[in-house]
Structure 1
Amino acid sequence: MTARFSLRVNNDLDLAALTGLAVAAEDAGIDQLWVSNDLMMRSAPALLGALFQKTTRLHLGIGIMNPYSVHPAELAMIASTLQEMSGGRFLLGLGAGSAEFLSWAGIPQLKPLTDTRAALRAIRALIEGARPADVEGAGDGWNRDAYLRLPATKVPIYIGAMSPRMLAFAGAEADGVLALLFPPEHYTTASELVAAGADKAGRSLADLDMPACVWLALDEDREKADRALALKLAYYGAAFSPYLLSRAGLVQEDFTPALDALREGDEDAAVSAITPQMLSLGISGDPDAVIQRCRELQARGATHLSFGPPLGPDPVAAIELLGRRVLPQLRRTA
């Protein structure tokens, strides 16, 4: 099998920082770079428009956009335009989004699965030169004038999914699936749910790209890498899905001491409150430790590994180390 690798970064980074990461990723032999589009931060479509001018080989994706804060008609416009600008290097991540983030703007998230399915069908139809009005399940309100006045093209659409039903839907209809894995070993269960959805639709898991999406912190100094991941877990751990935490024998309340310490500005106490069990929700350490965990994922069938933030105490240095020390070993394993 051929191993593939991607990175995921947040849209809180400015263009200069993001450009540095993208150039480092391309130099390291990374296949894809995904930029989040979290509400009230920088615009991922605008950032990607600039990044396509700074890279030549790297595929760039938005992971993810939702059909609530941006209408599917505009999502199709964005996807088609970026694909045209990039010469075919754009990837669209689509999902229901965060109900909490949407609530900031008073946007209700009514039927996450139904609305995401309708958006996928409508966006795909528009991009490929068809009319959503002619597509079953593409949502209401489309009339005969709803079609893109642009050349028809293809854009791979990945579904951001964590729940069993969304994973099965992704397997049935998407080109790929972005499933956050806490812990990484959840890949086995997630891939089985995607495979079941694909099988029911007459497809197979080989018909779509399913990266194993993990959090990574990498540094030559293992303690520094562990600290970077611990701080990330201290901030976000209490908000993780109870379902996913239960897979690791944890509950949201386990992270309360770390979050409280972080709120008080005591990073050392926050790091101390993150136990080895919590730390195992991601992958951290020196190259040898990271290679070992990643090989375990490959043994579970993962052919595409996707590394998300924090990446390390120095993200650019972590990407360079990833390309120099880790990826060659993982390609050899594959």
Structure 2
Amino acid sequence: MRPAEIGLGLQSDKRPGDYARLARVAEEHGFDVLSVFGDLMYQPPLYPLLEMAAATQHVRLGPACLNPYSLAPYEIAGQIAALDLASAGRAYLGLARGTWLGAVGIARPRPLTALAEAAEVVYRLLGGDDTGYEGEVFRLEAGTLLRYPVQRVRPPLLLGTWGPKGAALAGRIAEEIKVGGSANPAMVPVIRDRVRAGAEAAGRDPGEVGVVLGAVTVVDTDGAAARARARTEVAMYLAVVADLDPTAEIPDDLLVRVRDLVAAGEDRAAGELIPDDILDLFAFSGTPEQVAAQAQALIDAGAHRVEFGTPHGLDDEQGIRLLGAEVLPLLNRSPPTSPP
């Protein structure tokens, strides 16, 4: 097994030039992967990724994630082809069903079918297959071809999902599966079991599918301040991800109180209700030593990649520098000696 990768997940809310600067800092410190989130009402991830591609030489880059409901598969193919060309073959494609799309009037019917067929269409287009495709959700007429060159016909596919059926789909078609919003080592074997079902059905080695866990990250030499900031960030999505983690035991009344306070705009008060043990399941936070210990636990559990998500620190660039200079050197990225 290859050594674990360490990545950064960035929100697309910055000014021109910021992405290039942060990407250079990340590459200089030895990060392996840079992801840009595809969250509703933020900048589309392609622009930040293209800026980062021009500023770097080695890191892998990709959107985490695009969805086939707000972006047609032929557009997804075009965006990933552009990124792969601009980065000289360093792109990966992240796909997920998308969240909160109801706010803009977009329904998400048959998500697993839509994801599987979107990936099929994207790779047929990138590969120059003009034989046509007739799916249940998407189709290509025979003779339909891209009218521009591509760098690679198969940039690696990452599926963003928590559930058993989504993980099984990843086992069938993807190179990676990302569990977003989790820093819980207990989720790694759960996801591996779910991936295995799909991989074996497709005649694949389950070990070929890398498990990625990523979550809100706040690191600072002032560990208490970092954890306070992380609590506020986690409060905004705790009620969603808590229901997805079968290993987490979180009192229902706590989730209700957190949800109600967030709905009232009291994010900080909601975060103050989250105890340390629950915070550590859904965020990386504290001093560099604390954050390194959390990441190491995921690597030891068999995670292929750990992704430190925004806001990274009390200040974004300072957080990335601390992660690079003081967290990465503490990590042993060697895979476990026996399968977890």
TM over 0.5: yes
Show the counterpart of 2:179. Answer: 179
In the alignment, the residues of structure 2 paired with residue 222 and residue 18 of structure 1 have an alpha-carbon distance, to the nearest angstrom, of 26
Q: Which residue of 2 aligns with 1:76?
A: 77
- Counterpart amino acid of 1:23? R
Corresponding residue for 2:28? Answer: 27
Structure 2: how far apart are the matches of 1:25 and 1:34? 12
Stretch of structure 1 that moved more, 209-218 or 136-145: 136-145
User: How far apart in 1 are the matches of 2:280 and 2:69?
Assistant: 34
Change (3 A) 1:243 1:50: closer
Deviation at 1:309, TM superposition (A): 2.2
Uncovered stretches (5+) of structure 1, i.e. residues with no partner: none
Distance 1:139 1:145, change over 3 A: farther
State the Cα RMSD in Å: 2.4
Moved more, 34-43 or 63-72: 34-43
Name the CA shift for 1:2/1:239 in 2 (closer, same or farther; >3 Å). Answer: closer
Residues 71 and 189 of structure 1: CA distance in aligned 2, closer, same or farther (over 3 Å) = same
Q: Residue 120 of structure 2 corresponds to which residue in structure 1?
A: 121
Contact 1:8 1:307 in 2 (8 A): yes
In structure 1, the partner of 2:237 is 236
How many residue pairs get matched? 330
Which deviates more from structure 2 when the two are superposed, residues 85-94 or residues 147-156? Answer: 147-156
Matched, 1:141 2:156: no
Letter in 2 for 1:150: Y
How many Å apart are 1:33 and its aligned residue?
A: 0.7
Q: What is the CA–CA distance in structure 1 between the aligned matches of 2:34 and 2:296, rounded to whole Å? A: 21
Residue of structure 2 equivalent to 1:166? 166
Q: Which residue of 2 is the match for residue 8 of structure 1?
A: 9
Q: CA deviation at 1:145?
A: 3.0
Distance 2:274 2:138 in 1: 47
Paired position in structure 1 for 2:149: 151
CA deviation vs aligned residue, 1:132-181 (integer Å, no higher than 9, x gap): 725x7585432113221233523112111111100110011112211225
Name stretches of at least 5 consecutive residues in structure 2 with no aligned partner: 336-340
CA distance in 1, matches of 2:232, 2:330: 28
Partner amino acid, structure 2, of 1:212: L
In 2, distance between residues paired with 1:243 and 1:82? 32
Paired with 1:205 and 1:8, the residues of 2 have a C-alpha distance of 25
Q: Shift in Å at residue 241 of structure 1?
A: 5.0
Q: Once the 2 structures are TM-superposed, how far is the Cα of residue 263 of structure 1 from its aligned partner?
A: 6.3
Identity of aligned residues (%): 29
Partner amino acid, structure 1, of 2:278: M
2:102 corresponds in structure 1 to: 103
Q: Please report how far the alpha carbon of residue 239 of structure 1 lies from its aligned counterpart in structure 2 after TM superposition.
A: 3.0
Q: Who is 1:41 aligned against?
A: 42
Rounded Cα–Cα distance in structure 2 between residues aligned with 1:183 and 1:58 = 22
For residues 315 and 86 of structure 1, the distance between their equivalents in structure 2, rounded to whole angstroms, comes to 24
Q: Distance in 2 between matches of 1:290 and 1:130?
A: 46
SS at match of 1:119: helix
Partner SS, residue 210 of structure 2: coil
1:164-214: per-residue Cα shift (whole Å, max 9, x none)? 100110011112211225351212201221133212211123323322323
Whole-angstrom CA distance in 1 between matches of 2:266 and 2:110? 40
Aligned to 2:130: 131
Of Structure 1 and Structure 2, the greater helix share is in 1
The aligned counterpart of 1:112 is 111
Q: Secondary structure at the match of 1:103?
A: helix
Q: So what's the TM-score if we normalise by structure 2?
A: 0.88
Name the amino acid aligned to 1:172.
R
Q: Distance in 2 between matches of 1:308 and 1:271?
A: 18
* 1:223 partner amino acid: A
**1:249 is the counterpart of 2:249:** yes
Pairs within 5 Å for 1:225-304? 225-240=226-241, 242-244=243-245, 246-250=246-250, 254-258=254-258, 260-261=260-261, 269-281=269-281, 282-304=283-305
CA distance in 2, matches of 1:52, 1:331: 28
Aligned CA distance change for structure 1 residues 47 and 303 (closer, same or farther; 3 Å): closer
Cα 1:284–1:202 shift into 2, 3 Å: same
- The whole-number CA distance in structure 2 between the counterparts of 1:183 and 1:2 is 19
Structure 1 residue 39: Cα displacement: 2.4
